[in-house]
Amino acid sequence: MTLGTTTPLPRPRQVFLALLCLLALLVFIPPRAAQASSPRGTVERLNALFTDAGTQATPVDTTQRLAQLTPDLRDIFDFWLMAKAAAGSVWPRLGRTRQDALVEAFAEFTIATYAARFNALHGANFEVVGIEQGRHDTFLVRTEGRRGNGEKIHQAYLTRAFEGRWLVVDVLLDGKFSQLAATRAEVLAVIRNQGFKSLLRLLRQKTQELRGS
């Protein structure tokens, strides 16, 4: 997921540094026991949503897809941690009200992005192909999907335990490119160059565009 702004795309070095900062952040968030779910179970639940989209007789519009996806995606992704990681060192200076506003805008944008992309996955199915223990009590769950035309899709999900559940905290596109690291670089660029209000306005604008697609 990227914001799709006119801000220049982050250079590979910027994305790499953003990913290092994200991993450093995980060190300071103590893990909690996870008994009610597992890394595999969480990702398989997400895979089931993709597979369901691929097996429906006809694609549905984005508004209908949003209604279907929102409860599940809010339960699968840790949008609070993702927004906090995206804001980086700016986060503590935002204050509770602006933090909450950013988390909500970030969640709505992410959900709308998935909803808009789902119809492109018509005819696809996904499965877990591997699980790797990562740093700081995380597990990377690798998946492989296959579109109706036979094209393979590789994606991996970084998961971490929170209050008895395993939640997704990052998505690795093509199994290796951190979506959150790229988003973090963009978010910080917008805040630095245009301010926090502009970031919220941009997220909400892009969300509305996605909902109308």
By the 8 A CB rule, do 66 and 116 touch? Answer: no
By the 8 A CB rule, do 72 and 45 touch? Answer: yes
Q: pLDDT tens-digit profile of 106-148?
A: 999 999 988 887 766 666 788 999 999 988 889 999 999 887 7
- The share of the chain scoring above pLDDT 90, in percent, equals 51
The single-letter DSSP state of residue 56 is: S
Tally of CB atoms within 10 A around 176: 9
Task: Tell whether the model's pLDDT for residue 176 goes beyond 70.
Answer: yes
Query: What is the pLDDT, as a whole number, of residue 147?
Result: 76
Query: What is the pLDDT, as a whole number, of residue 32?
Result: 41
Q: pLDDT tens-digit profile of 32-45?
A: 433 347 999 999 99
Average pLDDT, the chain: 81
Return left, alpha or beta for 77; rule: phi > 0 is left, psi -120 to 50 is alpha, else beta: beta
CA distance 98 to 196: 9
CA-based nearest residue to 46, from 136, 180, 145, 123: 145
By the 8 A CB rule, do 108 and 205 touch? Answer: no
- The residue length of the chain stands at 213
CA distances from 121 to 48, 91, 118, 157 (A): 12, 35, 5, 18
Domains, the chain, in order of start with CATH, read 31-211 (3.10.450.710)
CA distances from 56 to 42, 121, 123, 135, 149 (A): 22, 11, 8, 38, 16
